[in-house]
A and B are shown apart, each in its own frame.
Chain A
Amino acid sequence: MNILELNNVVKRYQQKIAVDHVSFDVPESKIFGLLGPNGAGKTSIIRIITAITKADEGSVFFSGVPLMAAHREQIGYMPEERGLYKKMKVGEQLLYLARLKGLSKKDAKSRIDLWFEKFQIGDWTNKKVEELSKGMQQKIQFIATVIHHPKLLILDEPFSGLDPVNANLIRDEILLMKQEGISIIFSTHRMEQVEQICEEIVLINNGKNVLNGTVSDIKQQHKEHLFEVEYLGDTLLDFDNLAELQSNENGKLIVKLKEGIESNKLLRHLLDNNLQIIGFREILPSLNEIFIKTVQ
């Protein structure tokens, strides 16, 4: 079951086409990466998903029904450019934002207390937002995003501006929510984070969907049949037309398998030639490499 389905979504701003026939599905209870360089159209897509704007063409389904304004209460959105009322007190602000998402005053209050306890920040209630440090504000922002227990959580660069301790804190919360069955769209251009936590991604470039699928599938599709062989003793440089040598440094060979050759065949060849092997693994491209290659 998909929490979200986009079919041929188009969004134009005057002459410019910001989203160009984009289709992808966001699976339920997974962490989904919405990737793309700056200005690719990520924010335009997010605004359509959050029902802030409407698509000019195409359709969006939320849990199998056409997306409408009423779904807003089931979505939590943390924009990249964070924003809170600077002069408003933390407690008041969270209460207001939670009630706007449809929570009753009583529910909102008890949930705020829970979060304050969890992050041990109860004494911030009466502080104004402008009195908090940037990291503290991020925590408040995060609470505001998730307080209404959304079914779909959209996080735009959630770790930017966070120190490692707080980044871990937020990451653990995100993983916990995924376990609780919340679907998460994670928008970023930081690829190492994507590899850590995303299971599926879509890559947007120039308003178009250029890459879509699970992280492992995409890596398989983009692999270059490179293998790393760790060995002891003398080097063997004859690969019997099975592979090409890329490099040989510090007891590590990097070789590229030729078309149609299985890795076992190469391994057997190496063993047969008495190379003392202590390691053999395939080198898969990092998402970062795939990202750069695809975007270029």
Chain B
Amino acid sequence: MKLNKLGLIIESEYLSRVRKKTFILTTILTPIGFLVFTIVIMFLMTAGTDQKKVAIIDDSGLLGLDTSALASNNQVVFDYNRTYKLEELKSKLEEKGYDGVLYIPKTEEQNPEKLESLKSLKVEFFAYNQLGVNAQTYIQSTLAQRIETAKLHKMGIESAMLEKAAIKSKDIQFDPKNLGKSDTKAQEVSSSRVYVATFLGGVMMFLIYFVIVIYGNMVMRSVMEEKTSRIVEIIISSVKPFELMLGKFIGVGAVGLTQFGIWAITIPLLNFLVSLFFIGRLQNVQSNMPQQQMSSTDMEGMMEVMNELWAFNYFQIIFFFLIFFLAGYILYASLFAAIGAAMGDDWGEGQSMTMIVVIPVIMAFYIGIAVIEDPNSSLGVFASIFPLFSPVVMPARIVFEPPIWQIMLSLALLIANCWLFVWISGRIYRAGILMYGKKTTLRELVKWMFIKE
């Protein structure tokens, strides 16, 4: 194999893609998309929302005379109305500056005498423009709370007593200790570490899945284009088919790495800059909403997450991530290349063959999601070692520090299978790119593997 020619192929495959408008656009637009998303979120968080002024007419008398307990939020302002009747207010809605009228009718069930047996509350809302889902939910929950407090009061239970008695699931301090590890440091597994690991594992898994599907497809399309445009016959009169295939893998893979490299730098940087810009406004908003300020326990949780985020062995994680990333890409790219070479001029026919390759990737992704929930399940151990799944599943597990023998076994099998798949695909590719006009069956693919050069 002549390395300079392989280099030429890689260069051409790489440059022809990187210079494409679609590549430049997606590479630039994705960070900008994230940026716009962040800005929108920031705006929604900081900008004062359109408050709705709602008049309440309580014929049932269930809410009592005290309206101060009906707290407003940034979407809804309640105004307890005592002067007007419903019909009167409905006609004078805009004149009085209301956006709507909330009417609680008095019925057989809905009256203070039967408060204790009240199961549901029927209210009517009159407005020219109906409320958004959030505002409606807020009104519902406010009313429910109000009724509940009233009911409890009638039963002789005060809300202060309830607060005293309350205990939430987050108040149960869960402290896992790993028995399998000998060194003391690993024994300390904090609960937030599990959350952080889940997040990291998920991100890595998704990235690899994404690369395999997107760039695997790119390899396949490229093979098909060369075959159908017949340029391939000219290229392989200069270089070996295997060199062309390998050059394609490396060139397209480099395109993927370039794109991710650009994103890995620009997306966090842009988001950081935007956060800086908004940080002053965010603080303003928080001081305006004292009830939503972080409690000290929340702050502690944040600190813990930050600490855990730094506590991972990133050298090890990134090292293994890159290896599984590359091996997984090569393994699937070779399958995609074989399929691309086997297809005829008929693109539609190709779809069904693509499924043969796509199904294991999708399976791996869904298994990965399950494995993140329970990283040491037998499914997780199996899937992270089985070579068709391991490129996606093992990176999800690696942050949970699985036994080293599993990582090594998985890697050994993956790399061995990479060689095997590249070899098989090379044979199929070599035969397939020169075959025209026939529909390709799986049986024929197997035959092609044994065709002499």
Which A residues form the contact surface with B (CB < 8 A)? 13-14, 47, 50-54, 56, 69, 72-73, 75, 77-79, 81-88, 96-97, 99-101, 144
Contact = CB atoms under 8 A, between A and B. Distances in A.
Interface in B407-453: 434, 447, 451-453
B452 A100 contact: no
A13 B230 CA distance: 20
B239 interface: yes
A83 B232 contact: yes
A72 B234 CA distance: 11
A190 B226 CA distance: 28
A144 B237 contact: no
A101 B238 CA distance: 6
B229 A86 contact: yes
A50 B233 CA distance: 10
A50 B230 CA distance: 16
Nearest to B444: A14
A101 B5 CA distance: 9
21 contacts: A13-B451, A50-B237, A53-B434, A54-B453, A69-B240, A72-B237, A72-B239, A73-B238, A77-B234, A78-B234, A79-B233, A81-B230, A83-B230, A83-B232, A83-B233, A83-B234, A84-B234, A85-B231, A97-B238, A100-B9, A144-B234
B230 A82 contact: yes
A54 B452 contact: yes
B157 interface: no
A100 B229 contact: no
A47 B452 CA distance: 13
Contacts, number: 63
Contacts of B225: 86
B5 A83 contact: no
Contacts of B239: 72, 100
A77 B237 contact: yes
Given A72-B237, A72-B238, A101-B238, A96 B12 contact: yes
Contacts of A100: 5, 8-9, 235, 238-239
Nearest to A99: B8
A96 B238 CA distance: 11
Nearest to B435: A13
A72 B9 CA distance: 16
Contacts of A96: 8, 12
Interface string B220-232: 0000011001111
Nearest to B1: A69
Interface in B192-227: 225-226
B234 A79 contact: yes
Interface of B: 5, 8-9, 12, 16, 225-226, 229-240, 434, 447, 451-453
B230 A47 contact: no
A56 B9 CA distance: 29
A222 B448 CA distance: 43
Contact of A52 (B5, B8, B230, B434): B434
User: Which of B9, B225, B236 lies at the interface centre, i.e. has the most chain A CB atoms within 10 A of its CB?
Assistant: B236
Contacts of A97: 234-235, 238
B224 to A, nearest CB: 13
Contacts of A75: 237
B229 A84 contact: yes
Q: Which 3 A-B pairs have the closest CB atoms?
A: A83-B230, A83-B231, A100-B238
B319 to A, nearest CB: 35
Nearest to A84: B231
A211 B80 CA distance: 109
A54 B239 CA distance: 14
B238 to A, nearest CB: 4
Nearest to B20: A87
Nearest to A76: B237
A79 B238 contact: no
A90 to B, nearest CB: 14
Contacts of A56: 452
A100 B234 CA distance: 10
B340 to A, nearest CB: 16
B234 A52 contact: no
A75 B238 CA distance: 9
A100 B231 CA distance: 13
Contact of A47 (B16, B434, B451): B434
A126 to B, nearest CB: 12
A236 B152 CA distance: 138
Contacts of B237: 50-52, 72, 75, 77
A54 B434 CA distance: 14
Nearest to B9: A100
Most B CB contacts (10 A, CB to CB) among A75, A78, A96 go to A96
Nearest to B235: A100
